[in-house]
Amino acid sequence: MAEVLVVVEASASAGVKKVTLEMLTIARALGTPSAVVLGGAGAAAAFAEKLAEYGAEKIYAGEGDEVDGYLVAPKATVVAELVKSVQPAAVLLASTQEGKEIAGRLAVKLDNGLLTDAVALDADGTATQGIFAGSAVVKSKVTKGLPIVTIRPNSTTPVAAPAAGTVEQLTVAVSDTDKLTKVVERVAEKKGSRPELTEASIVVSGGRGVASADNFKLVEEFADLLGGAVGASRAAVDSGFYPHQFQVGQTGKTVSPQLYVALGISGAIQHRAGMQTSKTIVAVNKDPEAPIFELADYGVVGDLFKVVPQAADEVRKR
Ligand code: FAD
């Protein structure tokens, strides 16, 4: 079976991201998954166990300062050279800012088609993409070259399938034009006690109805009580109630937790795009006509400032 290259998303602090495990799971339908780790020296060894557990037969290590010391361009070059040498059946990348940029550059280098934001991929390379903020789906196929596809986080449930995970060092040869933008400093995101938003199994999000940055403490406290992550609507972010990296939706993060709690969120289509695949959705809104109730499994029509403290009391009793 031909190899399917999965470009790994991982970080030293968070380890291998869930989306990578999803891609390794999806890749198995098209061939034998191989992981491609692009980072500083020793990155592949650090992630090898997890990657092998989820089906990576080979782990290609594109490591060192030439890759890690610059922005995305050298990574695309390394993957392009690898594609030329192993002739894989497909290349999968995460639909993240970096994944999409590598994918775009890779497609240009190989004069190849590209599909972004797929939520499923068939064995013949047909991708399913959500369009119009997820309100319709399109099935598409690359017509020139191999399928280069970016996969949206939370598209599938990762399934372990232990494989050899043999690490193979790549010779990294990048050109001067790949080095036009250099990393000057890296500042690790402050790691709190809450789970990462896109990986959390419980997310409690606040919207404009929360009414102020101060009031977001209520959202945070409820999330902490449930052991969940905190999210926010764009209206809440734009109003300065909560930082942008927590925005859920079309122009924010995509989440698919077991439980999504929407507090004071109307349920606009662009917000739904980032959370509608959550397993159970609970909404608290004082407007019985709010569109979020069309989507919610459980809805409470009421003032969140009364409902949330009561719900928190009930949770504490258990
Ligand atoms: P509102 O729509 O103002 O809703 C607030 C809700 O709170 C109302 O339903 C109200 O009844 C309720 N409420 C008020 N007070 C209380 C109370 N005390 N108790 C209970 N309920 C109360 N939005 C996103 O969220 N994410 C995105 O990624 C995103 N991307 C976008 C991209 C584009 C191109 C565009 C055009 C828009 C995008 N939006 C996005 C914005 C989106 O259209 C909505 O404007 C936004 O989601 C509304 O946020 P909200 O529900 O918090 O606010």
Tell how far the Cα of 270 is from the centroid of ligand 1, in angstroms. Answer: 9
Of 68, 67, 97, which is closest to residue 82 (Cα–Cα)? 67
Q: Mean per-residue pLDDT for 153-166? A: 94
**What pLDDT score was predicted for residue 256?**
87
* CB of 234 shorter than 6 A to ligand 1: yes
In the DSSP assignment, the letter for residue 121 is E
**How would residue 259 be classed by pLDDT, with cut points 50, 70 and 90?**
very high
Is the CB of residue 62 less than 8 Å from the CB of residue 7? no
| H-only helix segments in the chain | 18-27, 43-53, 65-68, 73-86, 97-110, 216-226, 234-238, 269-272, 292-295, 304-317
* CB of 106 shorter than 6 A to ligand 1: no
* CB of 268 shorter than 6 A to ligand 1: yes
pLDDT above 70 as % of the chain: 98
Instruction: Give the predicted TM-score (pTM) of the model.
Output: 0.83
CA atoms within 13 A on the CB side of 236: 35
Given a cut of 70, whether residue 279 has pLDDT beyond it is yes
Strand 127-131 and strand 136-140: pairing?
antiparallel
**How would residue 91 be classed by pLDDT, with cut points 50, 70 and 90?**
very high
**What pLDDT score was predicted for residue 303?**
98
Indicate the range of 133-137, 162-166, 200-204 predicted with least confidence: 133-137
Residue 15 host element (H or E):
strand 15-16
* CB of 266 shorter than 6 A to ligand 1: yes
**What pLDDT score was predicted for residue 79?**
98
**What pLDDT score was predicted for residue 198?**
86
Of 77, 74, 23, which is closest to residue 50 (Cα–Cα)? 23
Distance CA 283, CA 293 (A): 7
Q: Mean per-residue pLDDT for 210-224? A: 98
**What pLDDT score was predicted for residue 130?**
79
From 197, 248, 266, the mutation candidate for ligand 1 (largest count of ligand atoms within 8 A of CB) is 266
Given a cut of 80, whether residue 117 has pLDDT beyond it is yes
Dig out the tokens for 111 from the structure. 């004069």
**What pLDDT score was predicted for residue 155?**
86
Tell how far the Cα of 252 is from the centroid of ligand 1, in angstroms. Answer: 13
**How would residue 191 be classed by pLDDT, with cut points 50, 70 and 90?**
low
User: Tens of pLDDT along 28-68?
Assistant: 999 999 999 999 999 999 999 999 999 999 999 999 999 99
Given a cut of 80, whether residue 128 has pLDDT beyond it is yes
**What pLDDT score was predicted for residue 1?**
86
**How would residue 190 be classed by pLDDT, with cut points 50, 70 and 90?**
low
Of 130, 113, 112, 102, which is closest to residue 36 (Cα–Cα)? 102
User: Tens of pLDDT along 260-270?
Assistant: 999 999 999 99
Tell how far the Cα of 266 is from the centroid of ligand 1, in angstroms. Answer: 5
**What pLDDT score was predicted for residue 192?**
75
The overall average pLDDT reported for the chain is: 95
**What pLDDT score was predicted for residue 228?**
97
Of 222, 175, 177, which is closest to residue 203 (Cα–Cα)? 222
